[in-house]
Structure 1
Amino acid sequence: MANSYCASFFLFFTTLVFLLPRSCPQSTNQSGDEHQILLGLKRYWGSSPVLGRWNPTSSDHCSWGGVTCKNGMVTAIFLPNQTFSKPIPPSLCHLKNLTYLDLSYNNFSTSFPTVVYNCSNLKYLDLSNNAFAGQLTADINSLSAKLEHLNLSANHITGKIPASIGQFPMLKSLRLDTNQFEGSYPAQNISNLASLEVLTLAENPFLPAPVPVEFGKLTRLTYLWVSGMNMTGEIPDSLSSLTELSLLAMNNNMLQGTIPTWVWQHKKLQNLYLFSNSFTGEISSNVTAVNLVDLDVSSNMLTGKIPDDFGKLIDLNLLFLYTNQLHGSIPPSIGFLPNLRDIRLFENMLSGPLPPELGKHSPLGNLEVCNNNLSGELPADLCSNRKLFDIVVFNNSFSGKLPESLDGCYMLNNLMLYNNHFTGEFPKSIWSVVTNQLTTVMIQNNNFSGTFPTQLPWNFTRLEISNNRFSGPIPTLAGKMKVFRAANNLISGEIPWDLTGISQVIELDLSGNQITGSIPMTIGVLNHLNELNLSGNQISGTIPAAFGFMSVLTILDLSSNVLSGEIPKDFNKLRLDFLNFSMNNLTGEIPTSLQNEAYGQSFLFNPALCVSSNNSIPNLPICRARANSSNDISRRLIALFFALGSIMLVGSAVGGFLLLKGQKNSQDPLSWKLTQFHALHFTEYDVLSGLCEQNCIGSGRSGKVYRVCVVDGEGGSRMVAVKKIWNMQNLDKKLEKDFLAEVQILGEIRHTNIVKLLCCISSSEAKLLVYEYMENGSLDRWLHQRDRIGALTPLDWPTRLQIAIYSARGLCYMHHGSSPTIVHCDVKSSNILLDPDFRAKIADFGLARILLKAGDLGSVSAVGGTFGYMAPEYGYQRKVNEKVDVYSFGVVLLELTTGRVANDAGLEYCLAEWAWRQYQEYGLSIDLLDEGIQDPAYMEDTFAVFTLGMICTGGQPSMRPSMKDVLHALLRFEHKSLERSPQHAVSEETALLES
């Protein structure tokens, strides 16, 4: 399955490649007229990635990008992806020797350009992926008689295909797919193209008609794509003469009958796509098409068993037989196929176990066998090759424990095992926070046991574990979580107070567990929650009024707990489709909006609840005013005011005392206020006593940084980093703003790749930020200060790549996992800190900006950031969005790959510009790379990351990828690096297991 970010990355990189200078032999007889024609094209079409580099002062147009010459004369124009929209000018065909013209992937929107009829020597014409409209002219054969390749696919061409299309005696490739052709296809005329090797008519709304028997005359065809064009009937035997076919795609039609035997015995067929038709009958038992790579006959009505001969298809990569009526067992021989990557057999009537060797001998990536009658255990070596990303086996009868090979299955993305009979402890490695790529885990209705880690992976979006035997406390949930269902387990403890990590959750079901404590007041942060079920626990206390903030909540079940007190009046703000407060100890009058028959069964077995009228909910009593209620209220108010007065009196006395103490000694801990964001074992005095000059480890724009040893638990100690803001009496408004921004952001963030702010200590004279201490210092220190320090060894490439990935995870969370979105505004190597295992964390949020909603552009009053890392628009437009961080991170990638600093006062331009110029002049040369990582084993991945850095530092913000796309790209490079280095793969696997 292709990802959109992969396609964008490929297209952009292809464009970069086209910018490289090209050379070709020149003739001393080169025509000056052709030079002027090309310059005219540049003036006419305007600037584009390639035309913008055509040098008008150079007489050697054969060296221009996209131009190919022979004996000094232009023979080929190659200009795809140039955003051209003006029509093709007649002057183009004044290049009399032009044989090759590619203008694909542009923005042409005219009718078919008949001006190309004048290009009399054309052999290759590619106008695909534009927006040409209208009909083809009847005299389409006016194109060059020498034409060998015609590609008009992916346009908006209508009408019928002209009969004259069959009058190109030398045509080898005809691509007319993905248009709006109608009527009947000119099968007889096309069958006259005796030299045709490629024919694509797919995805056009032709009139329903049988498969043309005439196509059997095209005996040189190697590629036949006729999908989605309303073909009916059976596949004719005449097509058996197409013995050179490597691809046959007839999917998404209305074909019937059986799949002919000749198809299964074709000697050269590699790709067979017959899915989404109405084929019946059995698959031939004699399958000898041993060159098959992709086989997809899904979504038909095939019956019988899967032939044993499928085990002979040793080149088979993709096997799709899903949504048929196949029965019997899956042949064990399929498990030995050496190249099998994707097997989808779901929605059949298959039975028995999976092939025992499945996954052991091939790079298996996707397994989907749900909705069958399969049984037994999952194969022991299912993920032994560490390629598996999808396991979809729900609605079967599988049993036993999960295979140990899943422990190192770090590419796993979707795990759907629900409605089976699995047992045993769920593998802890699957919950790994550091490396896990899982987004979906659905294992409900099994018999799994086990506990959760302290925090689940940040990228989880769906976790369903209901009806198992999981125990232990509720974990800190992930920032991207949308659905969490854990009903009917043995989960205990209290609901975590900090729920900001799941502020995006939509469905939350913890019913039928052993949860105690109260519902935290912070429940209101779940303002995206649509469904909440906490029934069947031992939750006590009152119902928080914060429910009133949950405006999209429609389903709420708090029944069968020990809740007490009144139902908050804030429930009048909600519009609930389902509500259940039954079997609690609630008291008082039910909020007015809930007093209607729609909630008639919502308050059962709460004897102290009442309503204002029996016309609302007949089963509940009417509230009666108590005679002494006003006296009770008066007494309570008097007591409350007395208590408040006492507190204010004591507070004033204490405040005066502390003020006197502060005047005597500003270092007295009583004059400091400690605000903690995590559980701490040290006091403000422990920190203050360590703020001496010998502990100073750095000095920044707004203050000094100290390394201080403080108490950590019983008798232990730990290092913390303390950032002291300059003397508060001299603190200007800008630095005060920096301080407040850092405290506000870091105090709320919980992410493994963002530095942890432990507490804030403030007084009238200074402010201190206390962070976790990162033993290995900054990335800048390891890249650029090794020579000065002398004791640091160069970072190898796997370590650098991991640092890039960890940093990208932190920024990705800020941009895509946090609400509101956070923009750092000062990403640089000195703000990327490293722990003892070189796990990177983003630090120093003094310039961070919070975007109140995605896409907002926030203006900044003063330019911040660091020269060499700042995006161009941040410097002169003063506009902030996530793309300024992407630019800065791109500079960090260039630092990691080149080893150069982001800005050197001795250079005329910054690193991003240097990299771009070097690439233009020399391409991907080894001289670009840092000497410490010029290892041939990683060269391809290092160049890929270098290229990604250049893409991130593009001048136009809209052309830069998102941090999510950057992270996905880096993860792909990581997996390739692991593939190329078995030794590192083993050590990485060990590290993952230990974590």
Structure 2
Amino acid sequence: MAKTTTAQICLQFPLYALLFLVIFLGHADSQSLQDEEQAVLLRIKQYWGNPLLPSQWSTASNSTHCSWTWINCTDGSVTALSLFTSNITGKFPPFICDLKNLTTLVLGNNSITGEFPRAIYNCSKLEQLDLSLNYFIGTVPSDIYRLDKLTYLDLSSNNFSGEIPPTIGRMQRLTYLMLTNNLFTGSFPPEIGNLSDLLMLGLGYMSNFKPSSLPSNYTQLKKLKYLWIPRSNMIGEIPENIGDMVSLEQVDLSTNGLSGKIPSSLFMLKNLSILYLYNNKLSREIPQVVEAINLGVLDLSDNNLTGPIPEDFGNLTQLTGLSLFTNRFSGDIPESVGRLPSLMDLRLFDNDLSGTLPPDFGRYSPLREFQVATNRLTGKLPENLCYWGNLTGVVAFDNDLTGELPESLGNCSALLIVSVKNNRLSGNIPNGLWTSMNMSNFILGNNSFTGELPEKVSLKLYRLEINDNRFSGKIPVGISSWKTLVVFKANNNLLTGSIPQELTTLSRLTTLFLHHNQLTGSLPSDIVSWKSLSTLNLAQNQLSGPLPKKLGFLPSLTDLDLSENQFSGQIPSEFSFLRLNLLNLSSNHLSGVIPSEFDNLAYSNSFLNNPGLCAGSGLVNLRSCNFIPTKSNKISTQSLALIIALVVAVIILAFCTFLFVIRGCRKKHDLGSTWSITSFQMLNFTESGILSGLTESNLIGSGGTGKVYRVAVDHIGEVVAVKKIWNKGKLDERLEKEFTAEVKILSSIRHSNVVKLMCCLSKENSKLLVYEYLENRSLDRWLHSKNRPPDISAGFGTVLNVVLDWPKRMKIAVGAAQGLRYMHHDCVPPIVHRDIKSSNILLDSDFNAKIADFGLAKLLIMRGEPTAMSTVAGSFGYMAPEYAQSTRVNEKIDVYSFGVVLLELATGRQAKQGDEHTSLAEWAWRHVQEGNDIVEALDEEVKGPCYLDEMCSVFKLGIICSGTLPSSRPSMKEVVHILLRCGNQLAYGHFAPLLKNSEREGDLVEDNPSSLVTVV
């Protein structure tokens, strides 16, 4: 027995020894692999810079590299490296694939540069690759199919160019393909239709694509759930067999050039929850046969769809949102739509709908948004709109609605906005609606509402418009509690009593309309709290007493109308401190001499029907003060003044005679210098009305190429801005070119965010451009004038102490970006401004931004082809580095300058105010590179918890736009899109349940950015 056991042991010993050797060697190999991987990770950290990757990545750490941040291991080996949003700069490490078992590599949202990294081919096991939101350039190589194990590929939001390689169609394992927001040319590769396992496809924001239709074989992608191709020059019709893509849940084909009908098969998609087809040219009616499907949101807005809304929409029992706005739908809204059980958001505004509203709206569904404005609807608003208590807004203005507001609105605490102006509604306001806790916009103008103003309103009320109604009674003293009110329009009502002192405590008020009421008594004397007030209209009342001197100290007042009252006494000399666009003191009982600052043609009709008033110059429509009897002790002074005036008159007469002779000589030689006027629209003024207003008292600005004047051109106070380019002799060649360029460009531009040129006047030694006048002048004045000494603001109005809040700044950023987008992408040929800066962004009374001063603009011959300029023009701090060095011009120099403007809006700093050695753009870039918190760079005067995300997003976008590499800067199309989205929780460049953005939607909610409509 013992011998047998010994023999067996002897025989088995080699086996045990071999097994031990295998285990030992395997452990050694495993340890060796871990050591190698750790060394690779540390090389990566060193390659990209130690401060940018976690301090935990260190040999001093007691843990293994598999426990380090952003590392995932399988069986002790690195399989995933995820460095999304890690502030990485530089190029792709060529040795990264020394991590031999790597299956997932995520490097998105960094600042990695260079061409597509071919070293990635060495990652033989790679299944997921994310290089999105970086600065890669060049083409995507045609042999990318070598990454044959990839299931996930995201190259979106880079600067890849050339055509999308058709060989991508050979990557049969792909389920996720995102190429959106690049500089690709060509068109949609049909080969992508071969990727039968694809679940998600993004080819959007390809502005350089040539116009082409969606390849028909894309309908073979039967597993595809998300199809995202907005803004990619897609034309033609939607494929008739799109219904074959049976798995589709989200489709975005918006802002393309699609035409034709909506195929009926689209309504057969059982899983479809989001459909965006807006801003195309789809022109047929919606099919009447719409099956009961599981639609969640249906958005067909901003097209040219016609005909009635199909009754069969009522079969869409899962529908939560229905957006058909900005089409040409007509007829009644189907009763069945009002009974949809899941409907939350209804947007039917801007159509030609008529008839009464279905009475069941809100009764069977948790209605949240109800927008039916700008139609021809009649009858009453549905009583049960807020039945479930979720309603945030009723937007129904510009219809023909009658009756009273629904009583249930008085108990609707979620309401943010009620806008029902321009209807025939009547009755009292429901109890509780005034004080609805979240109400910010209450707009009731031009109806027949009655009742009295309440003592208390919502603590969040921003805008109250009750003008053109039949409200009566006194303005309550409790108005002092309306602390958040910015706009108050109560004109054309039956208000009585005096203006209470409490009204003057509203420090945020910018607009106050109380004209055409029955107010009596004198004005409050203490009005210093009205520091934000820009427009005050108290005309057509029965107000009396003296004009308060403190009106002259209101720093923001630009429009003042106190006409048709019973004011008496002299006009306070303090009024001369105001820089008014409009002044009307007519039809009162004022007396004495008007202040000399108003003694010019700009105010010629500001003092009519005041028999006791006189003027010194005779330029205004008042009698001369020379014919008013004075005290004897002043006669000698008056006589002396008369003598001086006569001497001056003789000198002027002699000078005019000399000019007449010279003019006659010139005429003989065809050198006449009469003004020639070229108008670009109907004008209600003459050239004499313009010329008489070019006085120093009307000067509001000056620069290197001329002066700018504010000129009142008619009796109702219309004001224009006149830019004068003048030279002592014949206009030199440079100024002549600038004038010609500005006229040529502005006369052809028609956009709401570009300043409007009304006409031009010219003669051989002087040029005049007449623009619309923007009441709030330049953005620069609002952002930075509080930091200037008073003398610098002379001619531009009193130094502003009013802080431009963030919602207005965001509104200005979007408006200015839309103006530049129009110039770059919609004008043929495209226009480069060359001098974008905050002082060339003008603001109207509602803070809508308009691009101005095109004296330096340049028409490009071909889009994207740089054009050399003979001289460099621009402003320090805003000038793109490549422009300063090479004078090469394309749209990207405007993008750089606009990026600086965005940084100004976010930080409150001036463009040249980085630190003692750097500009704002350089300072902002270094601030981020050094790992500082962006929040620390934001303007302390406006940042708050509600706006931090938006402000940080705008700051980041400003850095991207002002990047030193032109190819890394986005187009203005992309900038507009990002600005409209930046306030939302969506990952840019990635699929998510996307809400459409609409520039038109903002019009529905007036001035309030935090309004009912969500803009993304």
Could you tell me how far apart the structure 1 residues matched to 2:185 and 2:305 are?
A: 31
Give yes or no for the alignment of 1:68 onto 2:72.
Answer: yes
Could you tell me how far apart the structure 2 residues matched to 1:342 and 1:85 are?
A: 43
The equivalent position to 2:420 in structure 1, one of 407, 417, 420, is 417
Over residues 851-873 of structure 1, what are the superposed CA-to-partner deviations in whole Å (9 max), with x where a residue is unaligned? xx97899xxxxxxxxxxxxxxxx
Could you tell me how far apart the structure 2 residues matched to 1:881 and 1:259 are?
A: 47
Aligned to 1:200: 202
Give yes or no for the alignment of 1:31 onto 2:34.
Answer: yes
Aligned to 2:375: 372
Kindly state the Cα deviation for residue 379 of structure 1 after the two structures are TM-superposed: 1.5
The equivalent position to 2:517 in structure 1, one of 503, 513, 519, is 513
Over residues 423-448 of structure 1, what are the superposed CA-to-partner deviations in whole Å (9 max), with x where a residue is unaligned? 2221342332xx72222221101122
Could you tell me how far apart the structure 2 residues matched to 1:473 and 1:99 are?
A: 71
User: 1:197, 1:221 within 8 Å by CA — same for their partners in 2?
Assistant: yes
Q: 1:53 to 1:563 in 2, by over 3 A?
A: farther
Q: 1:339 to 1:108 in 2, by over 3 A?
A: farther
Give yes or no for the alignment of 1:402 onto 2:370.
Answer: no
Could you tell me how far apart the structure 1 residues matched to 2:486 and 2:315 are?
A: 44
Over residues 199-245 of structure 1, what are the superposed CA-to-partner deviations in whole Å (9 max), with x where a residue is unaligned? 11111121011222232233332221122111112122243422222
Aligned to 1:191: 193
Over residues 363-420 of structure 1, what are the superposed CA-to-partner deviations in whole Å (9 max), with x where a residue is unaligned? 2221111011112222122112222222110001112222222123222222211011
Aligned to 1:684: none
Give yes or no for the alignment of 1:154 onto 2:134.
Answer: no
Q: 1:310 to 1:885 in 2, by over 3 A?
A: closer
Could you tell me how far apart the structure 2 residues matched to 1:628 and 1:133 are?
A: 86
Over residues 29-50 of structure 1, what are the superposed CA-to-partner deviations in whole Å (9 max), with x where a residue is unaligned? 9723223323333444456797
Give yes or no for the alignment of 1:223 onto 2:229.
Answer: no
Over residues 327-386 of structure 1, what are the superposed CA-to-partner deviations in whole Å (9 max), with x where a residue is unaligned? 111112222223222111011111122222212232222111101111222212211222
Kindly state the Cα deviation for residue 489 of structure 1 after the two structures are TM-superposed: 1.7
Q: Read off the aligned partner of 2:261 and give its amino acid letter.
A: T
Could you tell me how far apart the structure 1 residues matched to 2:43 and 2:937 are?
A: 40
Q: Read off the aligned partner of 2:450 and give its amino acid letter.
A: S
Kindly state the Cα deviation for residue 295 of structure 1 after the two structures are TM-superposed: 0.9
Q: 1:563 to 1:175 in 2, by over 3 A?
A: same
Aligned to 1:363: 366
Q: Read off the aligned partner of 1:209 and give its amino acid letter.
A: S
Over residues 936-958 of structure 1, what are the superposed CA-to-partner deviations in whole Å (9 max), with x where a residue is unaligned? xxxxxxxxxxxx9xx9xxxxxx9
Q: 1:235 to 1:614 in 2, by over 3 A?
A: same
Give yes or no for the alignment of 1:596 onto 2:610.
Answer: no
Give yes or no for the alignment of 1:611 onto 2:627.
Answer: no
Could you tell me how far apart the structure 2 residues matched to 1:485 and 1:465 are?
A: 6
Could you tell me how far apart the structure 1 residues matched to 2:411 and 2:158 are?
A: 46
Could you tell me how far apart the structure 2 residues matched to 1:115 and 1:454 are?
A: 72
Kindly state the Cα deviation for residue 465 of structure 1 after the two structures are TM-superposed: 1.0
Q: 1:470 to 1:107 in 2, by over 3 A?
A: farther
Aligned to 1:487: 491
Could you tell me how far apart the structure 2 residues matched to 1:405 and 1:228 are?
A: 42
Could you tell me how far apart the structure 2 residues matched to 1:332 and 1:29 are?
A: 74
User: 1:104, 1:128 within 8 Å by CA — same for their partners in 2?
Assistant: yes
User: 2:613, 2:622 within 8 Å by CA — same for their partners in 1?
Assistant: no
Q: How does 1:90-489 map to 2 (within 5 A)?
A: 90-142=94-146, 144-187=147-190, 189-205=191-207, 206-288=209-291, 290-432=293-435, 436-471=437-472, 472-474=474-476, 475-476=479-480, 478-489=482-493
- For structure 2, the 5+ residue unaligned runs are 1-29, 636-906, 914-935, 953-958, 960-982, 986-1016
Q: 1:46 to 1:407 in 2, by over 3 A?
A: farther
- 1:626 is paired with a residue of what secondary structure? coil
Could you tell me how far apart the structure 1 residues matched to 2:267 and 2:562 are?
A: 59
Could you tell me how far apart the structure 1 residues matched to 2:171 and 2:508 are?
A: 60
Kindly state the Cα deviation for residue 520 of structure 1 after the two structures are TM-superposed: 2.5
My pick for the range that moved more, 533-542 or 546-555, is 546-555
Q: How does 1:791-802 map to 2 (within 5 A)?
A: none
- 1:378 is paired with a residue of what secondary structure? coil
Kindly state the Cα deviation for residue 298 of structure 1 after the two structures are TM-superposed: 0.9
Could you tell me how far apart the structure 1 residues matched to 2:39 and 2:408 are?
A: 66
Kindly state the Cα deviation for residue 535 of structure 1 after the two structures are TM-superposed: 0.7
Q: 1:442 to 1:270 in 2, by over 3 A?
A: same
Kindly state the Cα deviation for residue 91 of structure 1 after the two structures are TM-superposed: 3.2
Q: 1:92 to 1:494 in 2, by over 3 A?
A: farther
User: 1:524, 1:548 within 8 Å by CA — same for their partners in 2?
Assistant: no
Over residues 879-910 of structure 1, what are the superposed CA-to-partner deviations in whole Å (9 max), with x where a residue is unaligned? 999979999x99xxxxxxxxxxxxxxxxxxxx
Kindly state the Cα deviation for residue 175 of structure 1 after the two structures are TM-superposed: 0.6
Could you tell me how far apart the structure 1 residues matched to 2:266 and 2:329 are?
A: 19
- 1:191 is paired with a residue of what secondary structure? helix
- 1:35 is paired with a residue of what secondary structure? helix
Kindly state the Cα deviation for residue 619 of structure 1 after the two structures are TM-superposed: 6.0
Kindly state the Cα deviation for residue 622 of structure 1 after the two structures are TM-superposed: 5.1
RMSD value over aligned CA atoms? 3.5
Kindly state the Cα deviation for residue 479 of structure 1 after the two structures are TM-superposed: 4.4
Could you tell me how far apart the structure 2 residues matched to 1:494 and 1:455 are?
A: 19
The equivalent position to 1:587 in structure 2, one of 591, 611, 614, is 591
Kindly state the Cα deviation for residue 323 of structure 1 after the two structures are TM-superposed: 1.0
Q: Read off the aligned partner of 2:470 and give its amino acid letter.
A: R
Could you tell me how far apart the structure 2 residues matched to 1:131 and 1:880 are?
A: 24
- 1:616 is paired with a residue of what secondary structure? coil
Could you tell me how far apart the structure 2 residues matched to 1:216 and 1:596 are?
A: 72
Q: How does 1:587-736 map to 2 (within 5 A)?
A: 587-617=591-621, 624-627=628-631
User: 1:256, 1:278 within 8 Å by CA — same for their partners in 2?
Assistant: yes
- 1:170 is paired with a residue of what secondary structure? coil
Could you tell me how far apart the structure 2 residues matched to 1:442 and 1:885 are?
A: 26
User: 2:504, 2:527 within 8 Å by CA — same for their partners in 1?
Assistant: no
Over residues 12-32 of structure 1, what are the superposed CA-to-partner deviations in whole Å (9 max), with x where a residue is unaligned? xxxxxxxxxxxxxxx999723
User: 1:50, 1:65 within 8 Å by CA — same for their partners in 2?
Assistant: no
- For structure 1, the 5+ residue unaligned runs are 1-26, 632-852, 858-878, 891-947, 952-957, 959-966, 970-995
Q: Read off the aligned partner of 1:218 and give its amino acid letter.
A: L
Q: What is the total number of aligned residue pairs between the two structures?
A: 626
Which gives a bigger RCO, structure 1 or 2 (Cα 8 Å, sep 6+)? 2
The equivalent position to 1:58 in structure 2, one of 62, 77, 88, is 62
Could you tell me how far apart the structure 2 residues matched to 1:131 and 1:885 are?
A: 32
Kindly state the Cα deviation for residue 547 of structure 1 after the two structures are TM-superposed: 2.7
Could you tell me how far apart the structure 2 residues matched to 1:360 and 1:103 are?
A: 50
Q: Read off the aligned partner of 2:196 and give its amino acid letter.
A: A
- 2:313 is paired with a residue of what secondary structure? helix
Could you tell me how far apart the structure 2 residues matched to 1:379 and 1:49 are?
A: 58
Q: Read off the aligned partner of 1:360 and give its amino acid letter.
A: R
Q: 1:85 to 1:267 in 2, by over 3 A?
A: same
My pick for the range that moved more, 319-328 or 110-119, is 110-119
Kindly state the Cα deviation for residue 59 of structure 1 after the two structures are TM-superposed: 3.6
Q: How does 1:898-977 map to 2 (within 5 A)?
A: none
Kindly state the Cα deviation for residue 278 of structure 1 after the two structures are TM-superposed: 0.8
Q: Read off the aligned partner of 1:199 and give its amino acid letter.
A: L
- 2:96 is paired with a residue of what secondary structure? helix
Kindly state the Cα deviation for residue 279 of structure 1 after the two structures are TM-superposed: 0.9
- 2:422 is paired with a residue of what secondary structure? coil
User: 2:406, 2:430 within 8 Å by CA — same for their partners in 1?
Assistant: no
Could you tell me how far apart the structure 1 residues matched to 2:337 and 2:62 are?
A: 61
Kindly state the Cα deviation for residue 551 of structure 1 after the two structures are TM-superposed: 4.8
Could you tell me how far apart the structure 2 residues matched to 1:185 and 1:448 are?
A: 57
Could you tell me how far apart the structure 2 residues matched to 1:117 and 1:577 are?
A: 67
Q: 1:286 to 1:628 in 2, by over 3 A?
A: same
User: 2:188, 2:215 within 8 Å by CA — same for their partners in 1?
Assistant: no
Q: 1:279 to 1:526 in 2, by over 3 A?
A: same
- TM-score, with normalisation over the residues of structure 1? 0.58
